[in-house]
Amino acid sequence: MQVGLTHFLVLGAILFCLGLLAVITKRNAVTVLMGAELIINAANINLIAFARYTDKDLDGQMFGVFVIVVAAAGAAVALAIVLNLYQRMRSVNLDEADSLAG
């Protein structure tokens, strides 16, 4: 079977599920962020695969560029929050950051 759109979509789906697994199982906040980056990459693979196989112009790739920019901004803010959490609680384990729980 020749490699086509379906193959890239399957790759994106598996990558998304691995990222999801990291996000919901890891205790360390930085590792959760890594999982989120994996999810964003999986979404971007889908965008660019559709841009290649179903679209004549570059709109999908433009969306890909914007996704990367917003991911960079999100990573910077999230890292700042993690470092602030570490300064307050001396730990970045998410199950210990429960002071908002009733």
Residue 39 near other proteins by CB under 8 A: no
19: left (phi over 0), alpha (psi -120 to 50) or beta: alpha
How far is residue 37 CA from its own chain's centroid? 3
Looking at the DSSP assignment, which residues form a beta bridge with residue 85?
Answer: none
With CB under 8 A as the contact rule, the residue among 87, 100, 101, 102 that binds other proteins is: 87
Nearer to other proteins, 93 or 99 (CB): 93
Cβ count near 17 (within 10 Å)? 13
Q: Which of residues 64-83 bind other proteins (CB under 8 A)?
A: 64-66, 68-77, 79-83
**Which residue from 2, 99, 100, 101 is in contact with other proteins, where contact means CB under 8 A?**
2
Q: Which is nearer to other proteins, 95 or 101 (CB)?
A: 95
